[in-house]
């Protein structure tokens, strides 16, 4: 192995190791940590690794397209607020956030893309893979404050809301950087990431659905850019390609459906049963599919989801009374000896359910117990 290749591997592995370790540093801001790491790493990458250029003739067109798509994405995302509602943006730019959040975020994006561009130009498969994982971690550090993964909820936020979108996004960024350079990625990422700090109102689209959009969008962009700019070979479409396209469509449908179920923004949703209070009919580890309550008639024996101290409780209605024009619902867990304390009224009821998927929620419960221990 020659000296240049050794240097390439040492720098690549160092970037990956340091960024990965930053996920577990229990510090106030993962963005500041990422910037402090990326500045010297970018300098070392540019100084010690020979820069090579192998860009497409369409790089200006892709740069323009990236800017247009970024603006359209922001506009369409914000327009969902007209259907869902808006709320006042708690992240709106201030002097403090400009230096502690916005500038570090922009620097992470720019420095990451510089490193990606230099390392991908080396045409080394192993280095390309290492760079991909490093860039995924850097993106996680941008969108998540879970530095110091110490709880189940932090871990689940990391996986569902940050890691999965980062995985698909960096497949697209790798593709674009390799063929058209770093500027289209920098422009697209700055627009779609920083807009949230400059808008006084933000749509109330749930984090789950936002994550789903971020998972799907890079796949669509990759297909679009590839079809628009890559040289098309006049070959017959093979059956395997058709099956692959079908599998992609089905996967996207599944991802969208799951995101809709867990988002709580639609009529139907899903919950994992975490206790033994309903053992018999509904067991711990089962997942229930619920229908949001909107004044539907409730009968004795109906299993409902009601809110108590900001938690969702799944119990059965065992008695209904109408006192002074107020309908009171008394509930009980099937495995409990006593009734739940007090009673529920219509405003307490979140949803109705009579559909369960046995055992499907156990992986989530196991993971929670592992992290708690």
* pLDDT, position 372: 57
* pLDDT, position 156: 60
Whether 75 shows a pLDDT value over 50: the answer reads yes
| Mean model confidence pLDDT for the chain | 81
Q: Looking at residues 111-124, what average pLDDT do you find?
A: 93
Q: Which SS3 state, helix, strand or coil, does residue 311 take? A: strand
pLDDT band at 237 (very low <50, low <70, confident <90, very high): very low
Q: Is residue 291 classed exposed, middle or buried when 0-12, 13-18 and 19+ CB atoms within 10 A define those classes?
A: middle
CA-closest candidate to residue 115, choices 146, 136, 101:
136
How far, in Å, CA of 108 to CA of 94, rounded? 19
Q: Which SS3 state, helix, strand or coil, does residue 321 take? A: strand
Sheet with 268-272, strands from edge to edge, namely 268-272, 287-292, 349-357, 303-308, 311-323, 326-332
141 φ, ψ (degrees, to nearest 5): -65, -25
Is the pTM for the entire model greater than 0.85? no
Q: Looking at residues 207-233, what average pLDDT do you find?
A: 77
* pLDDT, position 30: 73
Q: What's the gap between Cα 174 and its chain centre?
A: 19
Whether 283 shows a pLDDT value over 70: the answer reads yes
Q: Which residue has the higher pLDDT, 179 or 311?
A: 179
Q: Where are the alpha helices (DSSP H) in the chain?
A: 3-22, 30-48, 59-79, 81-84, 95-97, 103-120, 125-143, 152-156, 164-180, 183-194, 207-229, 239-263, 362-372
β-sheet bridge partners, residue 320 = 329
Q: Is residue 295 classed exposed, middle or buried when 0-12, 13-18 and 19+ CB atoms within 10 A define those classes?
A: exposed
Whether 67 shows a pLDDT value over 70: the answer reads yes
Tell me which of 7-11, 12-16, 241-245, 329-333 is least confident.
Answer: 241-245
How far, in Å, CA of 175 to CA of 205, rounded? 29
For the chain, state the CA radius of gyration: 25
Tell me which of 23-27, 99-103, 130-134, 172-176 is least confident.
Answer: 23-27
Helix axes 164-180, 59-79, angle to 10 degrees: 150
pLDDT, one tens digit per residue, over 124-171 is 999 999 999 999 999 888 876 544 455 555 566 666 678 888 999 999
Give how far Cα 25 sits from Cα of 135, 159, 312, Å. Answer: 18, 17, 33
pLDDT band at 32 (very low <50, low <70, confident <90, very high): confident
Q: Looking at residues 266-281, what average pLDDT do you find?
A: 81
């Amino acid at each position: 192995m020659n000296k240049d290749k050794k240097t390439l591997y040492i720098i690549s592995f160092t970037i990956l190791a340091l960024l990965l370790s930053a996920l577990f540093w229990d510090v106030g801001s993962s963005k500041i940590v990422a910037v402090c790491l990326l500045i010297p790493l970018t300098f070392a990458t540019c100084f010690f690794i020979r820069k090579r250029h192998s860009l497409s003739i369409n790089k200006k067109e892709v740069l323009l397209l990236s800017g247009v798509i970024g603006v359209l994405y922001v506009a369409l995302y914000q327009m969902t607020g007209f259907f869902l509602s808006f709320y006042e943006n708690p992240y709106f730019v201030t002097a403090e956030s400009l230096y502690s959040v916005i500038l570090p975020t922009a620097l992470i994006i720019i420095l990451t893309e510089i490193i990606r561009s230099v390392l991908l130009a080396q045409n080394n498969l192993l280095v390309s893979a290492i760079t991909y994982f490093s860039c995924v971690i850097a993106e996680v550090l941008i969108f998540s404050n879970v530095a110091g993964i110490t709880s189940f909820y932090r871990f689940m936020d990391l996986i569902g809301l940050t890691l999965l979108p980062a995985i698909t996004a960096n497949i697209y960024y790798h593709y674009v950087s390799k063929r058209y350079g770093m500027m289209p990625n920098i422009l697209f990422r700055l627009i779609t990431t920083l807009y949230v700090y400059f808008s006084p109102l933000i749509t109330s689209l749930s984090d789950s659905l936002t994550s789903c959009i971020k998972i799907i969008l890079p796949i669509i962009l990759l297909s679009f850019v590839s079809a628009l700019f890559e040289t098309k070979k006049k070959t017959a479409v093979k059956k395997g390609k058709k099956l692959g396209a079908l599998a992609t469509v089905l996967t996207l449908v599944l991802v969208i459906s799951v995101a809709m179920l867990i988002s709580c923004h639609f009529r139907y949703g899903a919950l994992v049963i975490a206790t033994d209070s309903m053992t018999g009919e509904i067991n711990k580890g089962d997942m229930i599919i619920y229908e949001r309550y909107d004044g539907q008639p409730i009968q004795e024996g109906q299993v409902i989801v009601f809110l108590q101290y900001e938690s969702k409780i799944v119990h059965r209605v065992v008695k209904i009374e109408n006192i002074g024009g107020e309908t009171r619902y008394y509930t009980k867990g099937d495995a409990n000896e006593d009734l739940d304390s007090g009673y529920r009224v219509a405003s307490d009821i979140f949803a109705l359910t009579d559909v369960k998927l046995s055992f499907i929620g156990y992986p989530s419960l196991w993971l929670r117990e592992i992290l708690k221990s």
